[in-house]
Chains A and B, each alone.
Chain A
C-alpha cells in the first residue's frame, strides 16, 4: 500500500515534469527562438491550449502528497517556505505572462508579458531542479519532524545547508538544460519553417551540455550521498535505469540528427522519466532524509495516512486519474499536428 502510493506520487511528479516541462522549456526559449512578434505568437501557440492542463499535474500531485503522506507535505512545504513562495510568485507571473500577452497588440504590453513568461519559466526550471537536489541531499530535520531552510548559508552541503548550495545549483542546471532541450524538441515538433530550424539547431547545441551536466550531477550525487546506491546494490536489476537514461540520451541525439522530430521528443520524455524514476528508486523508502541523524528521516512508514484512507483512496484516485488521462488524450488529439503560422484571430 505505502509502496503503491509512493510510486503514484512519483508518477504524478513525473507527469508534471514531462508535460509541464516542455512548456516551461518553450518558455525559456521563446525569446531566443522567435525574433518577431509573429514568431513569438507561433511559439506560444504550440503550448497555448495545453499549458494549463499540464500545470494541473502539479496541483494534483501536491494534493496527492498531502493526502497520502501528510507529514512529508507539512514538513517539506513549511521547511522550504521561502523557495516555495518564490515558486508560487513565478507561477503567477508565468500564468499571466502567457495568457494576458495576446490581449493587446502593443510592443510594450507584449514585451512586458514575454519577459515575465521567459524569466519566470527559466527560474522555475532552476528551482524545480534545486528542489529535487534538496530532497536527495537531505535537510536538517528536527526531532519533531520539521525544519526550516534559509535560501543559502555557505553554499556547502553540510549538516546545515541552505536551499541553494553547489550541489543543488548543479541539480538546478540539470533541470534548466534538460527542460530547455525538451522544450526545443517540442517546439521543433510543432512548428514549420524558420522556427523549426532554429529549434532544431538549439537542441543540437544543448545536447552536449545535457550529456556533461548529467554526468556531473551523477558524480556529485554519488560523492555527497553514496547511500543512494544502497537500493541499487540490493536489487541489481535497478541498474537498468541508468542504462535507460544513457540510452534515451543517445536516442535524442540519433533521432534529432535523423530529423525524426517525434522520436527525438519522445526520447527526451523517456530521459526525464528515467532520471526521475532513478532518483525515486534511490531514495525509497525515504521521502526526506535528515542531514544530521538518519533516525530522523521521513519515510513512507512514518509519514503515511491511515490504511483505510489510503485503500479507499486507491479507488477514487484511480477512477479520477483514468478520466484525467482520457481528457488529456482527447485534448492532445484535437491539437495534433503542427501549429499554423500567421496571425489568426
Chain B
C-alpha cells in the first residue's frame, strides 16, 4: 500500500499505529483473562478432592499464563502512552472522563495483579492450600477488573454518557457511577469476557487434544479437555445468547448506521433479511453473491419479522463508517466463527458426557485445529466495534480527524510504527518458542518457591 505523503496520511498513520499495537496486545490478555478463571477451577478441584493432579494442571497453566502475562504487560504499557503521543487532542478534551477508568485500572487492578501473581506463582510451598487458592483468585480478580476498566473507557467512546461539555470543548465526568455503569459497558464487558474465556477454553482443549493424540501426558490431557470443553460449551452459548444478542440490539438502537453497515444493508427494508455470506459492493450499494435468510434481521433486532430496519441510505454519507467492507467482514467472521464454536463445543461436550471424547480422534483433531479461531474471532469482534465506531472517536461528538496529534507528522508516526512492528515480530517469535517449550515439557513439575526471588513470571 503506498503511503501518501500529504497531510491526509497523518490520521491514517496514527490510526494504524494504535490499531496495530492494540490488536497485537490483545492477543495476550484474552488468554490471561480466559485462563485465570479456569486455573481457579483447577485449584478449587484440588482443594475439594485433595488430588494433586489438579494442582499440577494449575501449575502447568500458570506457566503459560505467566508467559502470556509478561507479553501482555510489555505490549500494554505503550497503549496508555499512545493516547497522549498519537492522539493528543483527543486526550486533552477527554482526559476528564476517560482518564478516570484508566487510572482506576492502574491503582485498582495492576497493583493487585502484580502483588498476587508472584505469590501465586511462587507461594505454593509457603502458603496453605487455601491461601494459595486465594492468590489464584486474586490474580483472576485483578485481570478481570483490569478488563472492566478498559471496557468502560471504550464504551464511553462508543456511547458517551455521564458527561458535561465545558466551554473549552473538554468533556468532564458528571456522574462517577453513571460512567462506570454505562449500559454499553456492561453489555460489552459480558460479551468480551465471555469471548476471553472461549479463547482460554479452546487453548486448553487444544493442548489436551494434542497430548491425547500424541499419547503423552494423557491423564493431564484428559483433565484439560474436561475443563476446556465444559467451559467452552457454556461460554460459547453465553457468547451468542444473551450477551451477543443484547449487545447487538443495544448497538442497533444507538449506532444504527453501524448496524446497517455491519449487516450490509444498503437500503431500508421492512422484514429485512440477514446476509450470511456475500461481498459488499460499496460503489453500487449491493451485496454480490448473497446468501440470505429473509426477515431474520428484523426479528433479531426488533423481535418481529415485519419491522423496518434502516439501511445506510437513511444516513448522510459523512456519517457512514469509513471502511464498510472491512467492518462487514469483521462482523461476519466474528459471528460465523461464534456459530461454529457452538457446534464444535456442543458435539465435544456431548461426546464427553457419553464418555467417548477421549477415544474420538476425529473430534480431538477438530479441537486441536480450532486453536487459532477464537483469537481470530475476538480480534474480528474488536475490529467490528472499533471500525464500526468510525468516523467518530467519541460517538456523535468528536470525529476521528479531530483527535490525532497535529504536531507529530506522518514521517515520525511511520517511523515508530515500523519500530513497533519489528519489535513485536521479535516478541511473537519468543512467545511461540517459549510456549511451545512449555507444552513439550508438559505438566508435572514441583511447585516453585517465593523465596527464590525469581522474576514474576519465570517459574
Contact = CB atoms under 8 A, between A and B. Distances in A.
Contact of B452 (A52, A82, A100, A345): A345
A44 B451 CA distance: 13
Contacts of A301: none
Interface in A37-67: 44-46, 48-53, 55-56, 58-60, 62-64, 66-67
B423 A334 contact: no
Given A309-B172, A331-B115, A345-B452, A70 B434 contact: no
Given A96-B70, A146-B407, A312-B176, A60 B110 contact: yes
Contacts of B115: 53, 327-328, 330-331
B452 A45 contact: yes
Given A48-B453, A67-B99, A103-B434, A78 B405 contact: yes
Contacts of A64: 103, 106
Nearest to A75: B88
Contacts of A312: 173, 176
30 contacts: A56-B111, A59-B106, A60-B107, A60-B110, A66-B84, A66-B91, A67-B100, A67-B103, A68-B99, A70-B95, A74-B92, A77-B83, A77-B84, A78-B84, A89-B419, A92-B75, A96-B427, A101-B458, A306-B96, A308-B172, A308-B173, A308-B174, A309-B99, A309-B173, A316-B176, A320-B104, A321-B107, A324-B112, A331-B119, A339-B452
B458 A102 contact: yes
A190 B453 CA distance: 11
A175 B227 CA distance: 50
Contacts of B362: none
A61 B369 CA distance: 43
B436 to A, nearest CB: 12
Q: Which 4 A-B pairs have the closest CB atoms?
A: A70-B95, A77-B84, A67-B99, A320-B107
Contacts of A344: 449, 451-452
Contact of A59 (B80, B116, B448, B456): B80
Nearest to A91: B77
A147 interface: yes
Contacts of A50: 118
B3 interface: no
A328 B114 CA distance: 10
A95 interface: yes
A70 B427 contact: no
Interface centre among A50, A79, A96, A99 (most CB of B within 10 A): A99
A316 to B, nearest CB: 7
A246 to B, nearest CB: 34
Interface residues of A, number: 75
B333 to A, nearest CB: 29
B86 interface: yes
A74 B91 contact: yes
B240 to A, nearest CB: 34
Given A44-B455, A74-B95, 13 more contacts: A49-B454, A50-B118, A53-B111, A67-B100, A74-B89, A79-B407, A81-B412, A88-B81, A93-B423, A103-B437, A327-B112, A331-B115, A345-B448
B451 A56 contact: no
B276 interface: no
Interface in A325-345: 327-328, 330-331, 334-335, 339-340, 344-345
A98 interface: yes
B365 interface: no
B430 interface: yes
Contact of A309 (B88, B100, B420, B451): B100
A52 B456 contact: yes
B237 to A, nearest CB: 35
A71 interface: yes
Contacts of A335: 450-451, 453
A85 interface: yes
A112 to B, nearest CB: 10
Interface string B46-74: 00000000000000000000000010011
Contacts of A328: 111, 115
B85 interface: yes
A172 interface: no
Contact of A71 (B74, B92, B103, B408): B92
Between B95, B102, B406, B457, the greatest number of chain A beta carbons within 10 A of the residue's beta carbon is seen for: B95
Given A79-B407, A96-B70, A320-B104, A74 B173 contact: no
A21 to B, nearest CB: 17
B96 A73 contact: no
Contacts of A49: 118, 122, 450, 453-456
B93 interface: yes
A242 interface: no
Nearest to B434: A103
A330 B173 CA distance: 34
Contacts of A70: 91-96, 99, 170
A54 to B, nearest CB: 8
B212 to A, nearest CB: 26
